[in-house]
Chains A and B, each alone.
Chain A
Amino acid sequence: MKCGVYYRKLKDRLFFLTVCMFSFLTAVPLVAIISEVVLKGFRQINWAFFTEQAPSTLDAMIARNSGSILPGGIANGIAGTLLMVAAAALMAVPAGILCGIALAEKPKSFFSGTVRFIADLIQGTPSIVIGIIAYIWVVVPMKTFSGFAGSVALAIMMLPLIIRSTEEALKMLPSSLKEAGLALGSSYTSVVIRVMLPSAFGAIFTGILLSVSRVMGETAPLMLTALGCSVINWDIFTPSSAVPLLVWEFYNDPNLVDMIWSSSLFLLALIFIFNLISKIIIRKYV
């Protein structure tokens, strides 16, 4: 009998060790990636990095040969990313929330089923395909690459995330809340706007933040739409740069390779901050 207990204890210990080992194994590459990006990117981070546009190949070459850090920064990318993500959010957030309300309120209708299916499909579509679609829809008729085309591509990618998170947030609310509102003689619209949406605000906002941080690092759809721009450009209807686009450009230029790491660090930090904010909001409101 005692032997049986000993055997079971051993099995228990063994299982625990296996779980620990595999979780450690998955953590190793993560830590390695982050530490590499931080260590290699940190050197380039200074004030100019946030305020100046990307250096030319020649300037970078001179700096490299003299052994100093590369001049310039990624301000053109930051400007483009901010502009495009903001424009994309402006398009995707209202549409996504309204769509999410429809799905939560009429979960079994044919419309909801179709929208849910399409949303899942878009979420699984490779981002380059969405880039091509934005190219055909926006770039071709407007006859120019533009930040606007890029934001359309990003908005399409944000939509399913916002729709589903709004739907889930509203579904989590107890039905008594809606009944309480209607029982006070409220119209349906009033209940949705004044009771349901405020109550689900935290969860919906979190969904929006996560979708923003998701599209912020997208490169492929922007290659076909925003194209890139070497100066700081706030005009959304002309070609625009973005941080992930710059990473790609730096990669293709041997003189600018060092900038990859600092740009990656910037993106990583930005996404980290967005995730952190959404975590805080979840803890506070949900």
Chain B
Amino acid sequence: MSETNDKIDTVLRMRNVCISYTRDKMAVNDVSADIARNRITAIMGPSGCGKSTLLRAVNRMHELYPDITVKGDILLNGKDIMKMNPMEVRRMAGMVFQRPNPFPTMSIYENVVAGLKFNDIKQGRSERDELVENCLRSVSLWDEVKDSLNKRGTFLSGGQQQRLCIARALALKPDVLLMDEPTSALDPVATNRIEELLLELKQQLTIVIVTHNMSQAARISDYSMFMYLGELVEFDNTEKMFTAPSDKRTEEYLNGRFG
């Protein structure tokens, strides 16, 4: 990294993270990285290189699947996530998935406050209304849905649904937003809106975004990771990585020679 650690506030620290789905094959192999606060960090790489796997380790999503083992240390705000309650970890590190997945039985309003309900956070009616408005405004969805807050979330278009899912994650005021290819199921217009949104959101929080769209990484990220076959090949300032990559594999990937 071009900037040293003491100049930049590290929100997420990964040390020797190894993740395996089966005993003999590593999906993520010995990855160490420091993620800077209020920056967008993109994780790039060809399909199956372990980008999503690494991302999902941060909010302990792998615990749902008993076959997956995670080794190494991940520190969120200096605290070991394995020593924290998984619910607390997930509240601090929100996640947006590849496909928009609003809760089908809930209205738009209920979808936004779902996280509060799940965590038994009690709020007054007006306070909650305000929160919903703020969250929907920050994903620039408010003007489109303010008259249909009681309609089902699934009634929205794909791009709107994804923005609703981001609003839902923001409602819990997370420190980190983990995004797993959030635009890969969306058209270019919707993608563009989400990218603009991310650039605004980084004032408030840290974003780690997995993408296999290199131009997207170049457009929005401050730092980029390049992963290949489960290894972290290169992790640097995005500008530097795209202009003068230090590893030959990164250069080849960025030039479209593989992946």
Instruction: Please report A residues at the B interface, Cβ cutoff 8 Å.
Output: 174-187, 190-191, 194-195, 198-199, 201
CB pair A184–B118 under 8 Å, yes or no, is yes
How far apart are the CA atoms of A201 and B119 in the complex, in Å?
23
For the complex formed, measure the closest distance between the CB of A89 and the CB atoms of chain B, giving whole angstroms. 23
What are 22 sample pairs from A and B whose C-beta atoms fall under 8 A apart? A180-B97, A180-B103, A180-B165, A181-B103, A181-B114, A181-B118, A182-B90, A183-B61, A183-B95, A184-B90, A184-B94, A184-B114, A184-B115, A184-B119, A185-B87, A185-B91, A185-B172, A187-B118, A199-B103, A199-B104, A199-B105, A201-B105
The answer to whether B117 touches A185, judged by C-beta atoms less than 8 angstroms apart, is no
Task: Determine the residue in chain B with the shortest Cβ distance to A189.
Answer: B118
A residues near B99, Cβ cutoff 8 Å: 176
CB distance from B7 to the nearest CB of A (A): 31
Enumerate chain B residues within 8 angstroms of A191, measured Cβ to Cβ.
118
* Minimum C-beta distance from A146 to chain B (A): 40
User: Which residue of chain B lies nearest to A173 when distances are taken between CB atoms in the complex?
Assistant: B104
* Interface residue tally on B, bucketed by range: 20 to 34
Q: Which residue of B lies closest to A200 (CB)?
A: B105
Q: How far, in Å, is B22 (CB) from chain A's closest CB?
A: 16
**Closest residue of B by beta carbon distance from A191:** B118
For B211, what are the chain A residues with a Cβ–Cβ distance below 8 Å?
none
- In the complex, what's the smallest C-beta–C-beta distance from B145 to chain A, in angstroms? 19
> Does any Cβ of A come within 8 Å of B189's Cβ?
no
Q: Give chain B interface residues in 97-150, CB to chain A under 8 Å.
A: 97, 99, 101, 103-105, 114-115, 117-119
User: Residues of A contacting B91 with CB < 8 Å?
Assistant: 184-185
Q: Are A182 and B105 in contact (CB under 8 A)?
A: no
Q: Which residues of B contact A194 (CB under 8 A)?
A: 114, 117-118
* CB neighbours of A181 from chain B (8 A): 103, 114, 118
A198 near B105: Cβ-Cβ < 8 Å: yes
Q: Provide the residues of chain B in CB contact with A184, threshold 8 Å.
A: 90-91, 94, 114-115, 118-119, 168-169, 172
Top 5 closest A-B pairs, CB basis? A185-B91, A186-B118, A184-B115, A183-B95, A198-B105
Contacts of B252 in A (CB 8 A): none
Chain A residues near B97 (CB-CB < 8 A) = 176, 179-180, 183
